[in-house]
Amino acid sequence: MRHLLSAGDLSRDEATLVLDTAAELAQVGDRSVKKLPTLRGRTVVNLFYEDSTRTRTSFELAAKRLSADVINFSAKGSSVSKGESLKDTALTLQAMGADAVVIRHSASGAAHRLANWVDGSVLNAGDGTHEHPTQALLDAYTMRDRLGRLDGLRVAVVGDILHSRVARSNVLLLTTLGAHVTLVAPPTLLPVSVHTWPCEVSYDLDEVLPKSDVVMMLRVQAERMRDSFFPSVREYSRNYGLDGERLNRMPAEAIVMHPGPMVRGMEISAEVADSPRCTVTEQVANGVSLRMAVLYLLLGGS
Amino acid sequence: MGSADPAPDPDAPEVPEGTRAVLDGNELNRALTRIAHEVLERTKGGQHVTLLGIPSRGVPLARRLARRIERVEDLSVPTGSLDITMYRDDLRLAPARALGRTEIPAGGLDDRVVVLVDDVLFSGRTVRAALDALGDLGRPRAVQLAVLVDRGHRELPIRADYVGKNLPTSLRESVTVRLDETDGHDAVLLGPSRPSPANTLKGGLKGGLRSGSPDSSPATTEGDD
């Protein structure tokens, strides 16, 4: 495959290859020279229509560690604010010889559209409420790194599933890799089509937690909400937030994940966020190795 | 340990048609023993030596050398592996390859005498890549090269310090090293060339993210020289 648009496009072997490659590349971060010459002379464009610190810097660092040239292009302060369409922006980047475009866009499907317009590789860094495949890959990597396996792992994804691209990508990828996913959310924060997803659904966090090896907390994406989806922050937090007491009801080796940014006191308590069982900073570190692996596998060959 | 003479043996089906064994198991092991002694001699006792095998078959060869050195001199030599995939100069000629393992021994490489170990020395491009990789990992006091087979046809100004067997070959021939650890038995085979190595390379992706581990490749080491 030339592009990485959806976590669902990856077969089990392909996904495992990405994780294995990332595991090898993780060593580069520990060396005195944190750079490989592999993508010398290649150009990677970060095309970000939505705000992002983590994902953009992670992709930038990954590309730079592979010696690629990186151009950061954010919608603010570009021709986009003058009314240029995605297609025209894409063709401009194409004319400049971009070998890969990393795109984040508020519209679901933007990455797919872009893939039809440019010759280079397109990497989906989040499109609307649709998918965020590299986040799912780095989550899977973190789980395998911490718990030693993915096959048969029980993963609970808790929170704003409706607006989450991370949830969808994780469900697709983790299912491919043999894990069992349970989505936990109030009915108002689940997509209508959730019954077609290859996972279980529950409304009761306390029932799911004791039988989960991994719990992934999602942020409530207030910026995407036009209606009110739950009565109050306090009530949401009491029913679906993870605090120390709930964490203690999980198996002893279970881990807590969060794709960031966290809202302490909302979906996760400060006590849990700072506990050694919370992998948030590991996820960020693993994200760089994982994105190096994806860039290498998509751009490194002929 | 059954493989003995190049005569018809239980080993017979292991040698594919059109190829012949230029080294059998015993000869291969004798060559390694000699190299181990040469390393000790040239490095004045091997106190500062670190052995780095180049995947896939350089790695078991490096381990065997370490075992022999330990037997002779009662000296435990730090041994590791150095994958050079990311430093290759022909990456763009084939789909992206799966990476091998890089394991640098705990003491690091600074001020060590690093002996690179590979199975076949051919164009010299693998060794060039390995030298580049070493430069990013530390600053060895010296770098030396040990190979099981030198088949000639160098494309770069590189030579080996320790050679198991000099094997004059034609470019139309292929050299295959088989080792107990990776292939179930020891032998060096000389045969007719295989179809263009670029197409038979280790599992990559591109035009299909295809998986493959570096060790799952057939017993060919020839493309890697």
- What is the predicted pLDDT for the residue at B143? 98
Record: contact A36-B91, CB cut-off 8 A: no
The C-alpha atoms of residue B50 and residue B66 are separated, in whole angstroms, by: 9
Angle (deg, nearest 10), helices A86-95 and A110-117: 40
Phi, psi of B106 (to 5 degrees): -50, -40
Nearest to A31 among B91, B95, B137 (CB): B137
Closest CA to A202 of A163, A154, A144: A154
Nearest to A301 among B94, B137, B213 (CB): B94
Q: What rounded mean pLDDT belongs to chain A?
A: 94
Same fold, A7-130+284-299 and A133-279: yes
Domain chopping of chain A, boundaries = 7-130+284-299, 133-279
Is A281:A256 a contact under the CB 8 Å cutoff?
no
Angle (deg, nearest 10), helices A280-299 and A54-65: 50
Tell me the residues of chain B between 73 and 112 that have a Cβ less than 8 Å away from chain A: 83, 86-87, 91-102
The C-alpha atoms of residue B225 and residue B175 are separated, in whole angstroms, by: 9
Both tokens of A81, joined, read 């604010």
Closest CA to B182 of B148, B216, B211: B216
Residues of chain B contacting residue A32, judged by C-beta atoms under 8 Å apart: 136-138
Feature table: binding site of A for L-aspartate? 82, 165, 219
The C-alpha atoms of residue B7 and residue B20 are separated, in whole angstroms, by: 11
Answer yes or no: CATH 3.40.50.1370 is held by domain A133-279: yes
What interface predicted TM-score (ipTM) does this complex get? 0.86
pLDDT by residue, tens only, chain B of 225 residues = 444 444 445 544 467 778 899 999 999 999 999 999 999 999 999 999 999 999 999 999 999 999 999 999 999 999 999 999 999 999 999 999 999 999 999 999 999 999 999 999 999 999 999 999 999 999 999 999 999 999 999 999 999 999 999 999 999 999 999 999 999 999 999 998 876 544 433 333 434 443 444 444 444 444 445
Nearest residue of chain A to residue B139 (CA atoms): A32
Domain A7-130+284-299: CATH architecture, name and number where available: 3-Layer(aba) Sandwich (3.40)
The C-alpha atoms of residue A240 and residue A243 are separated, in whole angstroms, by: 10
Query: Which pTM value belongs to this model?
Result: 0.89
Mean pLDDT (whole number) for A153-177: 97
Please report the domains of chain B, with CATH numbers, ordered by start residue: 20-216 (3.40.50.2020)
Would you call A100 exposed, middle or buried from its count of C-beta atoms within 10 A (0-12, 13-18, 19+)?
Answer: buried
Closest CA to A88 of A118, A55, A122, A133: A118
Residues of chain A contacting residue B206, judged by C-beta atoms under 8 Å apart: 1-2, 297-298, 301-302
